[in-house]
Amino acid sequence: MKLAVVGATGMVGHVMLKVLEERQFPFTDLLLVASNRSIGKKLMFKNREYAVIGLDEAVAARPDIALFSAGGTTSLEWAPKFAHNGTIVIDNSSAWRMDPTKKLVVPEINAESIDSDDRIIANPNCSTIQMVMALSPLHRAFKIKRLVVSTYQSVTGTGVKAVQQLEDEIKGIEGEKVYPHPIHQNALPHCDVFEENGYTKEEMKLVRETQKILDDRTIAITATAVRIPTAGGHSESVNIEFENDFNLPEVRKLLSETPGVIVQDVPESNLYPMPISANGKDEVFVGRIRRDESRPNCLNMWIVSDNLRKGAATNAVQIAEYILSKKWAEIPLNH
């Protein structure tokens, strides 16, 4: 089994390698791939040194699976080239998510939608993944009618330069800026670029991707995405209006029984999800579960997860694990 990690030198790429090692993902050959400027750079994996190769060489090597985390432009150009050679591409960018011919997968929810002829599979947006992990069991039980979402997102979601900007500002150092305003001691209601409707791309990803993953375009969704000076994970305040009524013990039971979800909801003991405690973990944490007393059939929840792990790297690796678990993937995929 030949595995390629495309974008191996980036922030998500580093976490992908860590997750692959932790989960003991099986492979016979590992290709670490990056842009031309990183070719020849040495990276360590399981105490072995690997030299980074370029995209042309990686395509020619015909890996069975390629985990992509190299940005949308790279993915649009190169994912089809890998796929044409028989590689299954699991892409972490937004390039393919809303393509009607591509699957948008959170394994705990819709892995079974993947079949043997899928060659490009999309990994959802980080803030979408953690939200639908908590919403999916509730949607099946009570049918979601409307969502109002506010996110509080880590600078790690922007990348290594954003983390550096925050660190520079904390130290009082003048450095490169990736945000239009200071992020230290600030909150920016501006994640990604603004679209014509006044919402940002990040906000509209929450709308479009959630409807696609839950396979229900009737769910009305509105979102506000905010960047805050944290580095541990994304937080979300979610208000859910259901078509059918619920009781809180049943909601907590459904969430507690959902693989990958951990309920932390003992407010009288100050127990609730926080980025600082979600950092480095794969689970989605849910708390502050309470009825919205202003409207019937409405629920409030607070959802937190490490955006680089379940929100990106771990979800992609889980998709790869699912592919390997299928009988049609028991033999090398390129043969």
Residue 113 lies in a domain: yes
Residues 66 and 108 grouped into a single domain: yes
Residues 131 and 87 grouped into a single domain: no
Residues 100 and 167 grouped into a single domain: no
Residue 334 lies in a domain: no
Residue 135 lies in a domain: yes
Question: Residue for token digits 């028989």?
Answer: 86
Q: What is the pLDDT of residue 227?
A: 98
Angle between the N-to-C axes of helices 126-142 and 201-213, in degrees from 0 to 180, rounded to the nearest 10: 40
CA separation (Å) from 305 to 134, 219, 244, 294? 11, 23, 28, 28
Residues 324 and 292 grouped into a single domain: no
- Please enumerate in sequence order all residues whose Cβ is within 8 A of that of 59, keeping only pairs 6 or more positions apart, or say none: 78, 81, 82, 85, 87
Q: What is the pLDDT of residue 332?
A: 52
Residues 114 and 170 grouped into a single domain: no
Distance CA 293, CA 302 (A): 16
Residue 21 lies in a domain: yes
**SS3 of residue 14 by DSSP:** helix
Residues 31 and 100 grouped into a single domain: yes
In the chain, the number of structural domains is 2
- Domain range spanning residue 13? 2-124+312-329
Distance CA 207, CA 222 (A): 7
- Concatenated DSSP letters for 286-325? EEEEEE-TTSTTEEEEEEEE-TTIIIIIHHHHHHHHHHHH
Give how far the C-alpha of residue 45 lies from the chain's centroid of Cα atoms, to the nearest Å.
23
Ranges of residues in the chain with a pLDDT under 50 are 329-331, 335
Q: What is the largest CA-CA distance in the chain?
A: 60
CA separation (Å) from 235 to 79, 228, 315? 31, 10, 18
Q: What is the pLDDT of residue 232?
A: 87
Residues 150 and 277 grouped into a single domain: yes
Residues 107 and 151 grouped into a single domain: no
Q: What is the pLDDT of residue 327?
A: 60
Residue 242 lies in a domain: yes
CATH number for position 219: 3.30.360.10
Q: What is the pLDDT of residue 326?
A: 87
Residues 168 and 114 grouped into a single domain: no
pLDDT in tens, 153-193: 999 999 999 999 999 999 999 999 999 999 999 999 999 99
Residue 136 lies in a domain: yes
Q: What is the pLDDT of residue 30?
A: 97
Residues 52 and 117 grouped into a single domain: yes
Residues 258 and 131 grouped into a single domain: yes
- Strand 220-227 relative to strand 234-242, pairing: unpaired
Query: Which residues belong to the active site?
Result: 126, 234
Question: pTM, whole model, 2 decimals?
Answer: 0.95
Residues 135 and 110 grouped into a single domain: no
Residue 165 lies in a domain: yes
User: 3-state DSSP: the chain helix, strand, coil percent, rounded to 5?
Assistant: 35, 25, 40
CATH number for position 116: 3.40.50.720
212: tokens are 């696609």
Give the amino acid at 328: W
Distance CA 252, CA 271 (A): 15
Distance CA 234, CA 81 (A): 33
Q: What is the pLDDT of residue 112?
A: 96
Return the closest-CA partner of residue 136 out of 255, 11, 265, 295: 255
Q: What is the sign, positive or negative, of the torsion defined by CA atoms of 139, 142, 146, 152?
A: negative
Q: What is the pLDDT of residue 331?
A: 45
**Overall residue count recorded for the chain in this entry:** 335
Residue 335 lies in a domain: no
Distance CA 133, CA 286 (A): 10
Q: What is the pLDDT of residue 328?
A: 57
pLDDT in tens, 30-49: 999 999 999 999 999 999 99
Question: Which alpha helices (H) appear in the chain, and where do they start and end?
Answer: 11-22, 55-60, 72-84, 107-110, 126-142, 160-171, 201-213, 248-256, 275-278, 314-325
Question: Residue for token digits 């390698």?
Answer: 17
